[in-house]
Amino acid sequence: DTAVSQTPKYLVTQMGNDKSIKCEQNLGHDTMYWYKQDSKKFLKIMFSYNNKELIINETVPNRFSPKSPDKAHLNLHINSLELGDSAVYFCASSSGQPLAKNIQYFGAGTRLSVL
């Protein structure tokens, strides 16, 4: 029973298209995140939601729009895809509590390739 699941695992699309990535967690966590990992494995946080409310929105183009219908789901919609959006996108969740309780649980990732 996967704790954090995201779909699809692979996404290949053309420039200019719009696509969505879905994420669900069954850990009962209050906080969910989206990260972008580039080809050099650098991990950058994009968004963080706590109980369906946006708490962190790093410097991300407004073509990226997260949506949280409930605290177990955080989806990522991307408009007008560009070549530079090619990366692996990870969803994660945590209890949102401080210190050692803030362990991040990651999904398996969505590898996005924009052609």
Partner 1 sequence: GDSVTQMEGPVTLSEEAFLTINCTYTATGYPSLFWYVQYPGEGLQLLLKATKADDKGSNKGFEATYRKETTSFHLEKGSVQVSDSAVYFCALSPSSGGSYIPTFGRGTSLIVHP
* Peptide bond just before 8 cis, omega within 30 deg: yes
Closest CA to 95 of 40, 12, 27, 44: 27
**Gap between the Cα atoms of 87 and 26, Å rounded:** 25
Which CB atom, from 6 or from 75, has the smaller least distance to partner 1? 6
| Binding residues for partner 1, total number by CB under 8 A | 25
**Gap between the Cα atoms of 101 and 44, Å rounded:** 21
Site pattern 47..86 for partner 1 (x: CB under 8 A):
-x-x----xx------------------------------
- Beta strands 110-114 and 87-94 are antiparallel
Among 17, 26, 104, 113, binds partner 1 (CB under 8 A): 104
Residue 37, token pair as written in the block: 């990992």
Among 13, 30, 60, 106, binds partner 1 (CB under 8 A): 106
Region of 14-22, 66-74, 79-87, 104-112 interacting with partner 1 (CB under 8 A):
104-112
Site residues (vs partner 1, CB under 8 A): 4, 40-43, 45, 48, 50, 55-56, 90, 92, 94, 96-100, 102-104, 106-109
